[in-house]
Structure 1
């Protein structure tokens, strides 16, 4: 028989966990949160074409590049249970979710200024935005803790990852604030490529669910009036 070539494993979602431990199984699912967030980013960018989401995703990618560089500079091994599976300092999962949760929190509390309520739309209240921020931060904490529980990282590696993600999030938020204030974003939105792909900047004052809602309401009411007239 001919010898078969050795096969490689695509370890994008390959997670080691203890099958006899329900908590370990739960932590294995938490390890997929960054992949899920990337799918969310791609879906929202494609469906909404919002500049703010594109900017946030760009910052997320920059955060990943930073993590890639730090791991290869520090070259600190993972705990012995996961030895040989790449460098562990800092935790990329912790850094990823720290950036996302803090970026979302700063957007909701400092940049998002919703319009006044209208008969067809009630924007998210401050209490709701605070609640969403707390949920995002709690989710980040769970993901970071799960990396320690699964023995993929030491507590110090996770803490450094969270710190790197937080520093990157704050830095990127300040950079994008300056980009907005000096008019660079407004200029970019007037260029042919951004207009071709219909990139817009509405989510800072409108909720995502608001997009097209008032147009739909006006159409629905108009059709109801037309139907009523026909019955008469």
Structure 2
């Protein structure tokens, strides 16, 4: 008996023109959502920040919304597309739009880091510039879907709009949870206490997280070495 033909894992199988460098770049841009999911998982595991939990939950809810919209609208992809499934709205565009807009809202309206003895956090201008970069990168990912003929202009624009609108809705919802005390209540539950979930990133710069403790330890170790040399 002959072996059955091999199949391609469609999750990361992206068609592009190997003779076109822009097409090759767009194929890599198509992997950005998967990369962001790895970033989410890494930050959640390493930092245990409730804000990152909330953002990831909103990201998954946005994906669920895209799944529903595609099966409700039932608009086909462009004819040049070799893949399967509906194309309205673009899931890539909706994913990166939600991420960039949510990150922008957090950096500009919720994140108020305080300077410490060892670190000066980004100014508002720096956070604004970072937000612009995030939005520009999202635009590049969304545009790549048109260039690769995976979606029409309209499908990408609707995806961007759906992601941005849902980002504002989710940000408003999480703002309500904070002001109503639900986040503080959740952080006191036994399961989040066991998982050591915390809420520091709103007022503490991630770059400075743990740095003061590290600097203090280095100073103590240096002091011990100096004292050891003097005792000899």
Q: TM-score range by the shorter chain?
A: over 0.9
Counterparts in 2 of 1:70-219, with a 5 A limit?
70-82=69-81, 85-115=84-114, 117-219=115-217
Q: How many Å apart are 1:121 and its aligned residue?
A: 1.6
Other structure's SS at 1:11 match: coil
RMSD: 1.1
- Per-residue CA distance 1:7-41 (angstroms, 9 max, x = gap): 43211110011111111111111000000000000
1:42 aligned residue: 41
Matched position secondary structure for 1:82: coil
1:230 Cα deviation after fit: 2.2
TM-score normalized with structure 1 length: 0.96
Q: Which residue of 2 aligns with 1:12?
A: 11
Unaligned runs of 5+ in 2: none
The normalised TM-score by structure 2 is: 0.96
Measure how far apart 1:6 and its partner are: 4.4
Q: Which runs of 5+ in 1 are unaligned?
A: none
- Structure 1's consecutive aligned runs of 4 or more residues displaced over 3 angstroms after TM superposition are 5-8
Alpha-carbon distance in structure 1 between the residues aligned to 2:118 and 2:5: 61
Q: Closer, same or farther in 2 for the Cα pair 1:230/1:62, shift >3 Å?
A: same
Q: Deviations 1:129-179 (Å, cap 9, x if unpaired)?
A: 111101100000001111111110000000000000001100000000000
Matched position secondary structure for 2:80:
helix
Shift in Å, 1:231: 2.2
